Amino acid sequence: MAMKRESILVIGANGQIGTALLPLLRTQFGQSHVIATDLRQPQSDQGLFELLDATKPDALTDVVRRYRITQIYHLAAVLSAKGESDPIWAWNLNMQTVLNVLEVARLHKVKKVFIPSSIAAFGEHAPKYDTPQMAFLDPATVYGISKVATENWSMYYHKRYGLDVRSLRYPGVISYQSMPGGGTTDYAVSIYHEAVQGHNFECFLSADTLLPMIYMDDALRATLELMDAPEANISVRTSYNLAGMSFTPAELTKAIQVHFPDFVTEYKPDFRQAIADSWPKTIDDSVAQQDWGWKPAFDLPRMTQEMITNLTPVYQPLVSTL
Ligand code: SER
């Protein structure tokens, strides 16, 4: 029997995760079976792309119908730090897009949906170390509140309509492919960009702020492994805890100094310190391990090596071959 081809919609394709996930999806499902969408045109043209404002249900419905979409990856969101500058706008954007995705997926019989959550779903009353899958969720940011609501709406659509929605609580995601925008964990990306240019780094968190992080390769592999797992294995329909590694800015600085001994970080904590302090320090992801075999591959030294190797050529002056 011929296998039915999937048709994959990525919302927020120009963002930090979308940029890195697209090539993998295009390899797995075929160039003409992955439709990238975003509010803005991508910087480089690499395949099927449509401008899409996912806060508009009709526009989303139109794309889903035209391409007979079978899977949606909804990666558009206002992150933790940026959300605090305009909480009502951030809430509306994050929730309208999620509700549109869930409702359009239900009405048009989309087979699988991925909507990520975050460590930002946790707040003051969750244990800070080895934060368990089931913990009290009282987030301190509007981003976190929207992620808790998203988790509950996802579970509701699964229970009530049988929609196959899956989710991961991403730690801070570190990648070289593109810059994150507006997050509290962004320092751990910016620091590498400064280091490879021979600059010092000014860190907006204090030296000893321990946070859960993950290298992009691991985050993407977790996403694809979760989406590939048999439906019967998925016991969590809110969102799975996911761990990569945990480190402080001081530990990250030391790991970079192995490659650049003169590298210096200065600490000037700002409003993002309180956000970071409200989050877990380490994550217990044993349910993800049991249900679909999750195991991260990258620790701090290996990630640092990869980040420096990939970012160094970006900042090298163009050498004329004439
Ligand atoms: N990386 C995100 C942020 O810092 C957390 O999900 O907002």
CATH number for the domain that contains residue 62: 3.40.50.720
- Catalytic member of 67, 73, 143, 157: 143
Q: Are 231 and 317 within one domain?
A: no
Instruction: Find out whether the beta carbon of 79 lies less than 6 Å from any atom of ligand 1.
Output: yes
Q: Are 103 and 197 within one domain?
A: no
Q: Is residue 119 part of a domain?
A: yes
Identify the three-state secondary structure at position 68.
coil
Q: Are 18 and 44 within one domain?
A: yes
How far away, in angstroms, is 222 Cα from ligand 1 center? 17
Q: Is residue 36 part of a domain?
A: yes
Structure confidence at residue 2 (pLDDT): 47
Q: Are 312 and 192 within one domain?
A: yes
Q: Is residue 286 part of a domain?
A: no
The total of structural domains in the chain comes to: 2
Measured from the Cα of 81, ligand 1's closest atom is 7
Q: Are 42 and 55 within one domain?
A: yes
The span from the CA of 198 to the CA of 241, in Å, is 36
Q: Is residue 30 part of a domain?
A: yes
Instruction: Find out whether the beta carbon of 144 lies less than 6 Å from any atom of ligand 1.
Output: no
Q: Are 139 and 259 within one domain?
A: no
Instruction: Find out whether the beta carbon of 212 lies less than 6 Å from any atom of ligand 1.
Output: no
Identify the three-state secondary structure at position 32.
helix
Q: Is residue 144 part of a domain?
A: yes
Q: Residue 74: which domain range?
A: 8-171+215-241
Q: Are 67 and 177 within one domain?
A: no
Give how far the C-alpha of residue 10 lies from the chain's centroid of Cα atoms, to the nearest Å: 13
Q: Give the pLDDT means over successive 10-residue stretches in the chain (322 positions).
A: 78 96 96 96 88 98 98 98 98 98 98 98 98 98 98 98 98 93 96 97 98 98 98 98 98 98 98 98 98 98 98 78 50
Asked whether 81 and 172 are in contact (CB, 8 A), the reply is: no
Q: Are 154 and 190 within one domain?
A: no
Structure confidence at residue 1 (pLDDT): 47
Whether 143 is catalytic? yes
Q: Are 208 and 103 within one domain?
A: no
Q: Is residue 289 part of a domain?
A: no
How far away, in angstroms, is 109 Cα from ligand 1 center? 31
**Token pair 């877990």 in the structure block, residue:** 280
Structure confidence at residue 180 (pLDDT): 79
Structure confidence at residue 45 (pLDDT): 73
Q: Which domain CATH number covers 310?
A: 3.90.25
Q: Are 86 and 222 within one domain?
A: yes
Q: Are 136 and 182 within one domain?
A: no
User: Mind giving me the DSSP string for 131-163?
Assistant: B-SS-----SSHHHHHHHHHHHHHHHHHHHH--
Q: Are 156 and 180 within one domain?
A: no
